[in-house]
C-alpha cells in the first residue's frame, strides 16, 4: 500500500511533514543544485530583519559532541530583498510551502516586516522568530516573557492575512505559558524549539571559541528536550505545532508527530549533511510500513 506522507498546516496541504529549519537551508536557492527541492514538504527561509545585516564577528560556529554552536547573528539581506529577489527566484524552482522567518528588534519592526512579507504572493506562512539567542537586545528578549511574546503576536496578526506561526525559545522556565500567551494573542500556530544558549572555551587560549562568547546550541543532543516541549505545548494548546530541535532521522520525525507536531523541521542535521532531508523523506515509507502506519495524520498520542 502506498503510504500517505501528506500533512496539513492551517489549511495548507504539504506533500510530507519534512521542512528544513530557518538558518540551516539559506533561501533554498543555495541547495537547489544538490537535489529537487520539490520533494520537501516546505522550506523555512533564512531569518530576515528590516535592514540588511552582516551578523556577528567570526568565529561564529563551534563544534560540540552531537551538536554545534552558532552565533551567526541573523546575517541576511533585509526584508525588501527577501520579497523582491529571494522568494521570486525560489518560486521558479519550488512549488511547496514557503515559510518566511521574520525577526525584529522592536514590535514595530516585527509588524513592518510581516506586513511586507504578507503581501508577497510566493510566501505561504509567516514564522515570527521571538527566540533568537544570538542577537543582543532583540529576538529572545521577546520570547522569554509571555506579555512581550503576546504583544509581538498581536501586532503581527493585525497586519497579516496569512497564517502566523510564532517560533518559541526553549530558554525559559515555562514554555507552555509563553505558548498559551501567543495562542490567546491570535497566533495560528507555533514552532518549537529554537536553540539552547551555550558556549565552548578554548583551553589553549583560555577564551570562548565563539567571538560573541555564547551562541545557540543545536543538533541531535537536544532532541529529547525539544520533544518534551513539543508534547507539553501541543497538549496545552489547540493550534498546530511545527516540531524542531535535534531531528536527524525518519524515526525522529515520527516521534515528533506522535508528540503532537503537525509538521517537523530539520535544522543542524542539514549543516552536517546537506542531503539529510531527502534521506529522511526516502526512509519514511519503509519505517511506516514496519510500524503498520498508512498515513501520517493523527499520530498524536
CB atoms within 10 A of CB 270: 20
What is the pLDDT, as a whole number, of residue 140?
57
Q: Could you tell me the pLDDT band of residue 134, with boundaries at 50, 70 and 90?
A: very low
- Per-residue pLDDT tens for 231-280? 999 999 999 999 999 999 999 999 999 999 999 999 999 999 999 999 99
Look up the CATH architecture of domain 7-291: Alpha-Beta Barrel (3.20)
What span, in angstroms and rounded, lies between the C-alpha atoms of 290 and 117? 42
Alpha carbon 217 to chain centroid, angstroms: 14
What is the pLDDT, as a whole number, of residue 298?
82
- Per-residue pLDDT tens for 197-214? 999 999 999 999 999 999
Mean pLDDT value across residues 109-121: 97
Q: Give catalytic status of residue 132 as yes or no.
A: yes
Q: Could you tell me the pLDDT band of residue 133, with boundaries at 50, 70 and 90?
A: low
What is the pLDDT, as a whole number, of residue 132?
61
Looking at the chain, the whole-number percentage of residues with pLDDT higher than 90 is 91
- Per-residue pLDDT tens for 151-186? 999 999 999 999 999 999 999 999 999 999 999 999
Name which of 80-84, 116-120, 133-137, 171-175 the model is least confident about.
133-137
Q: Could you tell me the pLDDT band of residue 40, with boundaries at 50, 70 and 90?
A: very high
- Interacting residues of 104 by C-beta distance below 8 A, sequence separation 6+: 49, 50, 110, 112, 113, 138, 139, 152
What is the pLDDT, as a whole number, of residue 17?
98
Q: What is the pTM of this model?
A: 0.95
Phi and psi at residue 172, in whole multiples of 5°? -140, 160
What span, in angstroms and rounded, lies between the C-alpha atoms of 234 and 227? 10
Mean residue pLDDT of the chain comes to 94
Mean pLDDT value across residues 70-84: 95
What span, in angstroms and rounded, lies between the C-alpha atoms of 104 and 74? 10
**Which residue's C-alpha cell is 583560555?**
206
Q: Which of 132, 182, 237, 244 is catalytic?
A: 132
In the predicted model, is pLDDT for residue 136 greater than 70?
A: no
- Per-residue pLDDT tens for 28-37? 999 999 999 9
Amino acid at each position: 500500500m502506498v503510504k500517505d506522507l501528506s500533512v496539513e498546516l492551517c489549511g495548507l496541504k504539504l506533500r510530507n511533514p519534512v521542512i528544513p529549519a530557518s538558518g540551516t537551508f539559506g533561501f533554498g536557492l543555495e541547495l537547489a543544485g544538490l537535489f529537487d527541492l520539490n520533494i520537501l514538504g516546505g522550506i523555512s527561509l533564512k531569518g530576515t530583519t528590516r535592514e540588511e545585516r552582516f551578523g556577528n564577528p567570526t568565529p561564529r560556529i563551534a563544534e560540540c559532541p552531537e551538536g554545534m554552536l552558532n552565533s551567526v547573528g541573523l546575517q541576511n539581506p533585509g526584508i525588501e530583498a527577501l520579497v523582491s529577489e529571494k522568494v521570486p527566484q525560489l518560486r521558479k524552482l519550488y512549488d511547496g510551502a514557503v515559510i518566511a522567518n521574520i525577526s525584529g528588534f522592536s514590535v514595530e519592526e516585527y509588524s513592518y516586516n510581516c506586513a511586507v512579507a504578507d503581501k508577497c504572493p510566493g510566501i505561504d506562512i509567516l514564522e515570527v522568530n521571538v527566540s533568537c539567542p544570538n542577537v543582543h537586545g532583540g529576538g529572545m528578549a521577546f520570547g522569554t516573557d509571555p506579555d512581550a511574546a503576546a504583544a509581538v503576536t498581536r501586532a503581527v496578526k493585525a497586519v497579516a492575512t496569512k497564517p502566523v506561526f510564532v517560533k518559541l525559545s526553549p530558554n525559559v522556565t515555562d514554555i507552555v505559558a509563553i505558548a498559551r500567551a501567543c495562542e490567546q494573542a491570535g497566533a495560528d500556530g507555533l514552532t518549537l524549539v529554537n536553540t539552547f544558549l551555550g558556549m565552548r572555551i578554548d583551553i589553549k587560549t583560555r577564551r570562548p571559541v565563539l567571538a560573541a562568547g555564547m551562541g545557540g546550541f543545536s543538533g541531535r543532543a537536544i532532541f529529547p528536550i525539544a520533544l518534551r516541549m513539543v508534547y507539553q505545548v501541543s497538549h496545552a494548546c489547540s493550534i498546530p505545532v511545527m516540531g524542531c530541535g535535534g531531528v536527524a532521522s525518519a524515526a525522529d520525525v515520527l516521534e515528533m508527530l506522535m508528540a503532537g507536531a503537525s509538521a517537523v523541521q530539520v535544522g543542524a542535521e542539514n549543516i552536517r549533511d546537506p542531503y539529510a532531508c531527502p534521506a529522511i523523506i526516502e526512509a519514511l515509507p519503509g519505517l511506516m510500513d514496519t510500524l503498520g502506519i498508512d498515513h501520517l495524520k493523527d499520530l498524536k498520542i
